[in-house]
């Protein structure tokens, strides 16, 4: 029983589990690369967001609530 035997429960082949048990540094490299790629994507998104022109940013539109006492506007009469 190695420390990576739980990979066989999620679908890894016995050969893959044997390689990870023999060379655990491969799993560490995989995690480091995944974290680095996620951080790079976040950095790219932040640069994109920070450098947008003001007219490119979406502005929230205020919705006005109708007053309870106000009568709805009548449509113009058809002639």
In this structure, how many other beta carbons lie within 10 angstroms of the beta carbon of residue 60? 5
Q: How far apart are CA 18 and CA 5, in angstroms?
A: 8
For residue range 10-27, what is the model confidence (pLDDT) as tens digits?
999 999 999 999 999 999
22 within domain boundaries:
yes
61 within domain boundaries:
no
71 within domain boundaries:
no
In sequence order, what DSSP letters do the residues of 19-79 get, joined into one string?
Answer: HHHH-THHHHHHHHHHHHHHHHHHHHHHHHHHT--GGGSPPPPPPPPPPSSPPPPPPPPP-
36 within domain boundaries:
yes
Q: How far apart are CA 54 and CA 4, in angstroms?
A: 50
Total of domains in the chain? 1
- What's the predicted TM-score (pTM) here? 0.59
For residue range 32-73, what is the model confidence (pLDDT) as tens digits?
999 999 999 999 999 999 998 888 777 777 777 666 666 667
Question: Which residue range forms the structural domain that includes residue 50?
Answer: 5-56
């Amino acid at each position: 029983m190695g420390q990576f035997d739980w990979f066989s429960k999620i679908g890894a082949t016995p050969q893959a589990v044997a390689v990870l048990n023999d060379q655990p540094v491969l799993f560490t490299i995989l995690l480091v690369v995944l974290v680095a790629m996620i951080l790079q994507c976040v950095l790219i998104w932040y640069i994109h967001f920070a450098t947008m022109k003001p007219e490119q940013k979406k502005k929230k539109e205020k919705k006005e609530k109708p007053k309870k006492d106000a009568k709805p506007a009548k449509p113009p009469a058809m002639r």
